[in-house]
Amino acid sequence: MTPREVLALCREREIQAIDLRFMDFPGTQKHFTIPAKILVEKSFEDGFGFDGSSMRGWKAINESDMLVVPQPETAFVDPFMSNTLVMTCNIQDPITREDYAKDPRNVARKAESYMRSTKIADVANFGPEAEFFIFDDVRFDQNEHECYYHVDSIEGQWNRGKAGGSSNAGYKIRYKEGYFPVPPADTLQEARTEMMLALMDCGVEVEAQHHEVATGGQCEIDMKYAPLLKTADNLLRYKYIVKNVAVKHGKTATFMPKPLWNDNGSGLHLHMSLWKEGKPLFAGSRYGGLSEMGMYAMGGILKHAPALFAFCCPTTNSYKRLIAGYEAPINLTYSYRNRSAAIRIPVHSPHPENKRFEFRCPDSSSNPYLAMSAVLMAMLDGIQNKIDPGQPLEKDIYDLKADELAELPAVPDSLEQSLQALRDDHKFLLVGDVFTEDVIDTWIWYKTTQEVAALRERPHPYEFAMYYDI
């Protein structure tokens, strides 16, 4: 939509409030709301002021003023708030009017612009498969003398013997057996359908929704592929809609990668392809039906994967998902069909327009603007430097012997390790000024001080089970 069309929509739908949204640096959506009468055509150029010093990792108090500039193509009517229109905004400096380097959406815009400047491709399509859990109850706390969490789900296998309160019908999902059950075992069908329909009403194309593998309410709703920036914008709508529909049903949704021990975690599998002048560039006669360009793109991802993990698996909890036996990739390899590889080449369709590969390592805690931008830059680096992805993996990783596994490059085993990899390998992200040294340094500083060090300093509940009687 154009600014004029947005204003027309406001009149047509009797919109009274405009919700202006953006994403902070670590990846949490923020917003403030203005009366609809304040929004005029000039607002789409002038923007609205706010205090940037209150945003994590952004401005200092002495340079706090910033602008949000609404983007008309992102407008949708909020399905939860009455008479409210939502728009995603770009962040600008109010004096220079330059786009702010640490605005994640600006990074994604620059990544797409740099890709077009290379003449390699004009569109990078991403199809995300975002997994999440829906729980009935959650409680957690951390202070000087206690640390605990408790989650519960009517579906959870741990509730098979539960007595008292409402009756126990006995339809519980066993650990790692939650893929595609029908109701009544699948208690979340109605909620997921409502999420799917709300996404479609808000302009997000959906391909499917279903229960996922884990017990205790793991779900997935698959969005249709779209260009990088649009996909990242859609993922913000996705999380907003999923969380609010869950609350409407008296439940709570989380995109935390590994909320349950001893069962599958939640990933953000990214299906990717490059296009130019309306033609797919990854279809060819090489391995798995990929083109030479597709092979080099995989090579770039695998070469830079440890650094990419700093953005694609950006929480300490992310690495509790990346362990053997739970369908998460633990080695940096690629394969045709094999879901135990970090990169999988799907076999669903022989048509060239469907040829793509799936990067299975990212998870849903990531900032989608930064994660997908970093992955695109790795692909472009692989293509430009003709990086060979090596030999494919045709065996199940989990069936390999120790000596065979030792020959395969492993994924990082902690956020600290990924951040060190980003320190050592980030020049490919700086090309075209897509990421800047300040963005990289701030990301590493924030994640190290606010997350890695914070967790390292605190006793863990399981340490009491292991060490209290020592």
CA-CA distances (angstroms) from residue 310 to 191, 228, 348, 424?
33, 19, 31, 12
Nearest in space to 185 (alpha carbons), one of 197, 174, 200: 174
- Rounded CA Rg of the chain: 23
Three-state secondary-structure class, residue 33: strand
Q: Which residues are catalytic?
A: 51, 129, 131, 212, 220, 269, 339, 358, 360
Buried b (16+ CB within 10 A) or exposed e, 293-317: bbbbbbbbbbbbbbbbbbbbbbbbb
Three-state secondary-structure class, residue 415: helix
Q: What's the CA gap between 215 and 279, in Å, rounded?
A: 41
DSSP characters over 347-405: -S---GGG--EEE----TTS-HHHHHHHHHHHHHHHHHTT--------S-GGGS-HHHH
406's enclosing H/E stretch is: helix 402-406
CA-CA distances (angstroms) from residue 255 to 130, 236, 296, 319?
8, 12, 31, 14
Q: Quote the crossing angle between the two packed helices 368-384 and 104-118, to the nearest 10°.
A: 20
Residue 151 in contact with residue 134, Cβ under 8 Å?
Answer: no
Q: Quote the crossing angle between the two packed helices 228-248 and 368-384, to the nearest 10°.
A: 150
User: E-assigned strands of 172-290?
Assistant: 206-211, 218-223, 226-227, 252-254, 268-276, 279-280
Buried b (16+ CB within 10 A) or exposed e, 10-28: beeeebebbbbbbbbbbbe
Number of DSSP helices (H) and strands (E) in the chain, helices first: 14, 18
Question: How deeply is 425 buried, as exposed, middle or buried, from its count of CB atoms within 10 A (0-12, 13-18, 19+)?
Answer: middle
Q: In sequence order, which ranges of 137-250 are alpha helices (DSSP H)?
A: 189-201, 228-248
Tokens encoding 265: 């975690």
